[in-house]
Amino acid sequence: MRALSKDWRSYFLATALTVAVGNMYNPALAAIYQDSLPLDSRAFGSSVINGISWAIPSTISSLLGGYLYERYGLSGLRAALVVNALVYFVNGALRSRMVETLQVKKTQEMSFRETISSLRRIFSWAYGSVRVLLTLDILFGVITGISRAFRLLYALYVIGVSRVEWGMLGGVYNMLYLPLSLYAGMMSDRKGRVRQMRLTPILWAISNLLFVTANDFEMVLLSWILGVIGDAFWRPGFSAMWIDIIPRKRRARIFSIRTIVGGVSSSISYSIGGFLYAKNEVFPFIVVILIQFLMIPLLLYLKEPETREI
């Protein structure tokens, strides 16, 4: 549908449909992944899954996508979207062979009111157990909404990065992320999650500062490298922390809550980001830097769980 879109309205409708369908199965899919990871190597296992599922393929597709758009313009983008649709079909066929990881003793039908009541109980439990992680998810949603949509615009039209160079940045990111995240995952499993996570907001802030002061591709590349180092040392430990503290039977519901929290915060922040970008192209990234510094005291408060959930 996106490949056949004639204007932004039909493209928006197709994108909304994709997100809606994805959110119907993503909680269960994420819970299956989490349940399947070994207790003593969850961070490393998350890194391996990320590497196999998107880091390696994205290295090639980022370069190819940049070339197609630079060479053929909108027609190249439509071709890439058609290929993307074919990949979704293959993906669905492969996922149909996945095995259930949760033993359901009895199937129960729940009304809409009972579902809302269940979510309220989960929210109440989560507030006492994982409020710091949920707060971090909210902050990530704000960062995504404020800056993500404008990073490409800033790179292309303010700094002067070409579309091929932008695709190269994606390839460089993925090539560096995989080995760094594997190392960070092993260290997280051995030494603890929080210790290495506490350094990453500083790296992200420096990365964004370099990005907004860049005037050539080389400076943007340096900013990207610092950003990928921060991501690699953050994501494995952050993902593993959620698995460590959430019981198996609640993981799908908690993932749904995280999706809602992140989605609401990012949706609101997109409008704020647009307003800031209209005032000055640098303003969204300055706000992001301030938010990243705000993460530092939260991470000082965050503690490792005494016992990891199975």
pLDDT in tens, 11-54: 667 666 776 666 666 666 666 666 667 767 778 877 777 777 76
Q: Exposed e or buried b for every residue in 204-227, given b needs 16+ CB within 10 A?
A: bbbbbebbbebeebeebbebbbbb
d(CA 3, CA 14): 9
Q: How many CB atoms lie within 10 A of CB 159?
A: 18
End-to-end CA, the chain: 41
- 309, 247 Cβ separation under 8 angstroms: yes
* Residue 65 clears pLDDT 90, i.e. is over it: no
Q: Is residue 99 very low, low, confident or very high in pLDDT (cuts 50, 70, 90)? A: low
Instruction: Dump pLDDT digits (tens) for 206-229.
Output: 999 999 999 999 999 999 999 999
Q: Of the segments 141-155, 179-193, 217-231, 242-256, which one has the largest average pLDDT value?
A: 217-231
Instruction: Dump pLDDT digits (tens) for 271-305.
Output: 899 999 999 999 999 999 999 999 999 888 888 87
pTM equals 0.74
Structure tokens at 182: 């594997």
* Residue 5 clears pLDDT 80, i.e. is over it: no
Q: How many residues does the chain have?
A: 310
- 225, 172 Cβ separation under 8 angstroms: yes
d(CA 257, CA 264): 11
The region that residue 309 occupies, defined by phi over 0 for left and psi between -120 and 50 for alpha, beta otherwise, is beta
The packing angle between helices 283-301 and 200-213, to 10°, is 170
> Between these two residues, 21 and 140, which has the higher pLDDT value?
140
Average pLDDT over residues 143-167: 89
Classify 8-98+126-301 by CATH class. mainly alpha
Q: How many CB atoms lie within 10 A of CB 33?
A: 19
- 220, 161 Cβ separation under 8 angstroms: yes
**What are the sequence ranges of the domains in the chain?**
8-98+126-301
